C-alpha cells in the first residue's frame, strides 16, 4: 500500500512511474452522538480508501481531519472551518498534488454536509480550471444504497455510521442509542441550531450491526474502485 506519509521522496518518485493517481481522504472533527468518536467521518473515509488501495495501484494521501460543520457547532469536540477556508485549502492541496507529479486525484469525503460539499466541489472545479489534471469528488454516502439500511432518511451517527464503526473501530463504539431525528425548521435560516439537536444523532443507531457494517463497507469500497476506474479512463482536461 502506498501511504504517502510513510514514503521518502525517492520512493514516491519511483512510485509515480507506476501510478499517478492518489486518493485524498477528507473527514471532519465533530460530534457523532454520545456513542461515536469525533473522528468518525475521517476514519471511515481513510479505511475505505485503504481497502480500495489494496485492490488498485494508487497512492493514499494523509487525511484532512477538518471540514465545515454547521449543524453540530456548539457541541464539545466539533471543530469547524469556514466554507471559504476549506475551499481555498483544498484547492491549494490539489494544485500541489499536480505540481508533485500526480495526474489524478480522487477526493473521498466521509463528511457530507451541504456547505462542506459545496466547498469541496468549488475547490475541485477551480483547481482543474488552473491545471491540466483530473479530479473526482466522491462522498461515501453517495456510495451507500439506501435500500441496504432499515432506517428511512438515516444520517449523521445513525444506522449507517454506527454499523461502519462497528467494523472499523468496534472498541470506540459506546453502545447503540435509540432513534433520534431532531425537529428543525424546514426553511428558516438560523444562526445556531445546537439547541435543537438533542444528543446529536440524526438516525437510528439501534438498528446498527456488524453484518450491516461489513456489507456497507464493501459497498463503499466497490464504489470507490468504480470512481477510480472512471477517473483513470478519462483523458486530461
Query: 82 in a domain, yes or no?
Result: yes
pLDDT beyond 90 at 203:
yes
Query: Tens digit of pLDDT for each residue in 96-129?
Result: 999 999 999 999 999 999 999 999 999 999 999 9
23 within a domain of the structure (yes/no) = yes
Q: Is 22 domain-assigned?
A: yes
| pLDDT for position 95 | 98
Structural domain boundaries enclosing 48: 2-148+217-233
Mean pLDDT of 7-14: 98
CB 41 within 8 A of CB 28: yes
pLDDT at 86: 98
CA–CA dist 96, 109 (Å, integer): 19
Structure confidence at residue 234 as a pLDDT band (50, 70, 90): confident
135 pLDDT band, cuts 50/70/90, is: very high
Region 9-21: mean pLDDT is: 97
6: CATH: 3.40.50.10310
Collapsed DSSP state (helix, strand, coil) of residue 29: strand
Per-residue confidence at 235, pLDDT binned at 50, 70, 90? confident
| pTM of the entire predicted model | 0.96
Q: Do the domain assignments include residue 40?
A: yes
Any domain includes 188: no
166 domain-assigned: no
Write down the pLDDT at residue 209: 97
Output the DSSP codes for 190-207: -S--GGG-TTS--B-GGG
Q: What are phi and psi of 29, to 5 degrees?
A: -115, 100
How far apart (Å, rounded) are the C-alpha atoms in residues 1 and 55? 9
Mean local confidence (pLDDT), 200-226: 97
Question: Residue 237: pLDDT above 60?
Answer: no
- Number of domains forming the structure of the chain: 1
Give residue 192's pLDDT band: very low, low, confident or very high (50, 70, 90).
confident
**Residue 70: DSSP 8-state:** S
pLDDT confidence tier of residue 186, bands split at 50, 70 and 90: confident
What average pLDDT is seen over the chain? 96
Residue 94 domain flag: yes
- The rounded Cα 189 to chain-centroid distance in angstroms is 26
Encode pLDDT of 160-177 as tens digits.
Answer: 999 999 999 999 999 999
pLDDT of residue 184: 86
Q: Is residue 41 part of a domain?
A: yes
Residue 207's pLDDT is what? 97
Amino acid at each position: 500500500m502506498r501511504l504517502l506519509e510513510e514514503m521518502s521522496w525517492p520512493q514516491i518518485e519511483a512510485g509515480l512511474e507506476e501510478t499517478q493517481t492518489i486518493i485524498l481522504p477528507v473527514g471532519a472533527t465533530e460530534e457523532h452522538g454520545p456513542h461515536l468518536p469525533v473522528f468518525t467521518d475521517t476514519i471511515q473515509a481513510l479505511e475505505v480508501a485503504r481497502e480500495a488501495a489494496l485492490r488498485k495501484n494508487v497512492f493514499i494521501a494523509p487525511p484532512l481531519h477538518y471540514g465545515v460543520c454547521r449543524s453540530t457547532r456548539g457541541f464539545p469536540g466539533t471543530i469547524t472551518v469556514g466554507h471559504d477556508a476549506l475551499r481555498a485549502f483544498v484547492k491549494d492541496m490539489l494544485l500541489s498534488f499536480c505540481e508533485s507529479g500526480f495526474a489524478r486525484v480522487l477526493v473521498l469525503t466521509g463528511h457530507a454536509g451541504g456547505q462542506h460539499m459545496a466547498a469541496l466541489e468549488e475547490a475541485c472545479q477551480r483547481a482543474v480550471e488552473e491545471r491540466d489534471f483530473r479530479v473526482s469528488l466522491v462522498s461515501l454516502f453517495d456510495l451507500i444504497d439506501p435500500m441496504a439500511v432499515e432506517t428511512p432518511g438515516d444520517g449523521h451517527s445513525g444506522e449507517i455510521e454506527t454499523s461502519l464503526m462497528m467494523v472499523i473501530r468496534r472498541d470506540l463504539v459506546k453502545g447503540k442509542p435509540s432513534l433520534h431525528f431532531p425537529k428543525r425548521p424546514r426553511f428558516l435560516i438560523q444562526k445556531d441550531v445546537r439547541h435543537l439537536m438533542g444528543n446529536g444523532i440524526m438516525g437510528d443507531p439501534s438498528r446498527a450491526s456488524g453484518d450491516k457494517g461489513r456489507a456497507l463497507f464493501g459497498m463503499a469500497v466497490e464504489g470507490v474502485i468504480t470512481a477510480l476506474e472512471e477517473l483513470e479512463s478519462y483523458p486530461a482536461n
